[in-house]
């Protein structure tokens, strides 16, 4: 993903990746790693871990701050949101400690650090909308049933994301090449699917238009581009055609 220490596996993607994906990748790389040049004092992973690990404390602070201002701050939905988003952030730290993604270990410029902080901060806005009472969710199902759906989606998504990242990390320790078993057997991008399920659950719990806009941007401008570029990279393996034929891009039976 980065332009400073791009993995060898991505070296030949330009031969088969669509022009629009290559263009978006260059833009994303510049914004996230090289914006305006200059010193590179921070690793990308430090920025991500700060936001992920700080989520529980940030949301807790919001609940304390708004407790005397609106009933929404201590509502059942707010407590569930704290548990889901906050514990996901702590799970991410545990994952990064045990099997870190090498793409996040690159050092980035100061402007890129600020850009990344702003982008990740948009995820914090989800909790603010709910806890501050700005969002007044009216769920399509009874509250208890909707909470069940959101919790289940987040929990399952987290399991898929962690399992996919762990399998990739430890498999590539012993052999390089296409991973076609485990959680990758039927889905070619299970880590992205897990992330989308997690943040989709957060957006569903908030039930406001703004998280939908944020996720639509991230999923189209970042996730989709990365998945297309990854497939272009994987296509160089002889077994790629058979694997692609027998697996789904993202959601089994749908996509």
Mean pLDDT of 171-185: 94
Q: Where are the domains of the chain?
A: 41-106+123-245
Residue 2 has pLDDT above 70, yes or no: no
The predicted pLDDT at position 127 comes to 98
Residue 221 has pLDDT above 80, yes or no: yes
Structure tokens at 230: 């990854």
The predicted pLDDT at position 15 comes to 59
Give the SS3 label for residue 67: coil
Structure tokens at 210: 């703004």
CA distance 134 to 66: 11
Tell me which H or E stretch contains 123. Answer: helix 110-131
Closest CA to 108 of 3, 225, 9, 25: 3
Which pLDDT tens digit goes with each residue over 86-96?
A: 999 999 999 99
Mean pLDDT of 217-226: 97
Residue 179 has pLDDT above 50, yes or no: yes
Give the SS3 label for residue 61: helix
Is the overall model pTM greater than 0.75, yes or no? yes
Mean pLDDT of 174-202: 96
Structure tokens at 143: 């509250």
Mean pLDDT of 156-181: 95
Which pLDDT tens digit goes with each residue over 116-154?
A: 999 999 999 999 999 999 999 999 999 999 999 999 999
Structure tokens at 66: 């708004």
Q: Tell me which residue has tokens 């919790």.
A: 151
Structure tokens at 164: 């996919």
Residue 7 has pLDDT above 60, yes or no: no
Sort residue 78 into left (φ over 0), alpha (ψ -120 to 50) or beta: alpha
Q: How crowded is residue 211: how many other Cβ atoms within 10 Å of its Cβ? A: 24
Which pLDDT tens digit goes with each residue over 227-254?
A: 999 999 999 999 999 999 999 999 988 8
| CA of residue 173 relative to chain centroid, distance | 23
CA distance 69 to 35: 40
């Amino acid at each position: 993903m980065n332009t400073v220490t791009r993995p060898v596996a991505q070296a030949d993607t330009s031969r088969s990746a669509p022009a629009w994906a290559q263009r978006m990748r260059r833009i994303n790389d510049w914004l996230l790693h090289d914006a305006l040049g200059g010193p590179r004092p921070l690793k990308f992973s430090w920025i991500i871990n700060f936001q992920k690990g700080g989520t529980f404390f940030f949301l807790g602070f919001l609940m304390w701050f708004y407790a005397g201002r609106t009933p929404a701050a201590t509502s059942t939905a707010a407590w569930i949101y704290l548990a889901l988003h906050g514990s996901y952030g702590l799970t991410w730290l545990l994952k990064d400690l045990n099997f870190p993604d090498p793409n996040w270990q690159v050092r980035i410029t100061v402007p890129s650090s600020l850009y990344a902080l702003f982008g990740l901060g948009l995820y914090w806005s989800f909790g603010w909308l709910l806890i501050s009472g700005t969002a007044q969710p009216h769920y399509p199902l009874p509250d208890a049933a909707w909470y069940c759906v959101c919790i289940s989606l987040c929990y399952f998504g987290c399991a898929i994301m962690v399992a996919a990242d762990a399998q990739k990390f430890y498999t590539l320790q012993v052999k390089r090449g296409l991973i076609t078993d485990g959680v990758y057997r039927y889905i070619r991008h299970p880590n992205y699917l897990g992330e989308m399920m997690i943040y989709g659950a957060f957006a569903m719990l908030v039930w406001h238009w703004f998280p939908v806009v944020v996720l639509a941007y991230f999923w189209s401008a970042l996730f989709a581009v990365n998945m297309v570029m990854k497939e272009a990279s994987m296509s160089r393996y002889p077994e790629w055609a058979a694997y692609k034929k027998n697996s789904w891009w993202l959601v089994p039976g749908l996509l």
